[in-house]
Structure 1
């Protein structure tokens, strides 16, 4: 599974993916992991993204897109004061 992901990320997105293995038990700060965890928290605030309501992966992907559109539109609509 990871092989296809790595090839796709390299060819389509022009990104290099680094898979970080957990080595020590307990809490260890990993680089940039907080960005992913924060994004998952934003997505999980939307009801349809918390449970597996969708039967097709494309529908679930669409719900994630809608949730992130809502998050970003609220962020852009904020006022400076």
Structure 2
């Protein structure tokens, strides 16, 4: 995902509760990396388990 694409998409994602002081804990993965992984899945038509190791684990999908 390019920086321009991320700049367009980021405002559309919900702000985590912990950033607004409403409790919870930080996420384990970067939202941008998760979106990159989803885009890879859609473009390639592969299963999450077949994703490269640098993407979040399939149990997080």
Per the normalisation by structure 1, the TM-score is 0.31
* Higher RCO (CA-CA < 8 Å; seq separation 6+): 2
More helix by share: 1
Higher gyration radius (CA): 1
Per the normalisation by structure 2, the TM-score is 0.37
